[in-house]
Structure 1
């Protein structure tokens, strides 16, 4: 009788996240200090959006007397816009477990850290998408992707700022086919120069909706790796976790594509 040899074991090398998505466009503030924003989130005060009523074009004659001026000629600031509701903090985690042997413990730590590294950006994108849709209320219906980009281009042009258009990755091929995708050194832009943000967390969360925001800002703590032992069961547990928050100054537009797309 012959005994079969056990297969050779090969540990797959740890891979890097494939796409920057929301993670890559966010302006992060990393901190090891106490997370003061954790209980109540972060409220972002607007400085660039919502001031339409505080601007105008002088329409009266240059030589008009004060008595000739009406209420519409008064140069007066409107009330400052209220900030959006505070952006809530998110805590992400990943876990692995094994026996109590030293090599197994090292493996559990590595696995927990790698799982967290790959899955955290996707989970955060899904949470971020839900918040964007809450702020967007009812997206404007459009016929196709070109109409969607056109509508958001106009919404962003009205603010005279560069925007970030969030969409699911399935629309990358559609955007490329319709010449709505310009490759840059850091990702993709629309033909008018706004930044595409394609993320795996947007697949189900956004569907055929596209949302334009101002620059995303983020605050995050360090990834903590915690371990514990369950001696009666001969188990070693490793958990990687982190708390963070991502927000924006303004939501600038949202559309939904009516026709089917990949």
Structure 2
């Protein structure tokens, strides 16, 4: 009679979230307690964008007579831009369950926290993708990623600021192949220094659309872990959750990339994000 040994139990080590997504690119304000004040969202007041209607160049002689000026067309009077709509907060959560033994309780708590830690960034990207596409309205089109980035960098240059370009993680290889990605410290940036934000939540959220925004800001509370034992059913449940919101001053532009063309570095290439035969269907 042969007695079989039980399998060796191995706990996979906890890994860190990928660094190239929205969480790493966002300027966060971390709060120590619950963010009840976020119930109504955040209104971002704009200071750095939309100044085209508040700026002009004086074209009259320095000593021009007041009688020669038109009070309507020559007055140095600008129009304040519209501020973005309220950015709404939401609560992300993750749970796990097992029996009520102490070993299971410890495992359940760790797993709930780790699942939340890895899944939350993608969920925030998916939420923001919906908002960005709504703010952008009808996106422009570009035949290839080079033309798309050129289009977005041109519009960002008109703001005279350094922004972000949000894209599905599927676009990273295409952009790198076309020499559109370089390192600036720990950041991936475009040729003109705008930060690439390649997100897993953008794979389905943005697909073949690239979006340029001003830098993103976020507010978040601590991750709260709550136990929910049910002794009568020998079940222990733990829930990890927190509330947060992400927003931006300006949605600069969005552009949908059509099939790459010769001269874009991808002659004859048919599989690309957003195409019918791209493997992931992004």
Normalised by the length of structure 2, the TM-score is 0.89
Residue in 1 aligned with 2:76?
75
**By how many angstroms is 1:37 displaced?**
3.5
Deviation beyond 6 Å, 4+ runs, structure 1: none
Residue in 1 aligned with 2:230?
230
1:168–1:28 Cα change, 3 Å: same
Give me the whole-angstrom Cα distance separating, in 2, the residues matched to 1:166 and 1:92: 21
Give me the whole-angstrom Cα distance separating, in 2, the residues matched to 1:36 and 1:94: 20
- The yes-or-no answer on 1:116 pairing with 2:148 is no
CA contact (8 A) 1:163 1:212 kept: yes
**By how many angstroms is 1:189 displaced?**
0.5
Paired residue secondary structure (1:109): helix
Normalised by the length of structure 1, the TM-score is 0.96
Q: Which runs of 5+ in 1 are unaligned?
A: none
Give me the whole-angstrom Cα distance separating, in 2, the residues matched to 1:140 and 1:15: 38
Paired residue secondary structure (1:226): strand
CA contact (8 A) 1:108 1:237 kept: yes
- The yes-or-no answer on 1:8 pairing with 2:8 is yes
Residue in 1 aligned with 2:170?
170
**Alignment: residue pair count:** 261
CA contact (8 A) 2:167 2:211 kept: yes
Comparing 199-208 with 19-28, which one deviates more in the overlay? 19-28
Give me the whole-angstrom Cα distance separating, in 2, the residues matched to 1:18 and 1:34: 26
**By how many angstroms is 1:250 displaced?**
0.8
Q: Which runs of 5+ in 2 are unaligned?
A: 260-270, 274-282
Paired residue secondary structure (1:218): strand
- Superposed counterparts of 1:203-218, under 5 Å: 203-218=203-218
Comparing 224-233 with 61-70, which one deviates more in the overlay? 61-70
Give me the whole-angstrom Cα distance separating, in 2, the residues matched to 1:212 and 1:36: 30
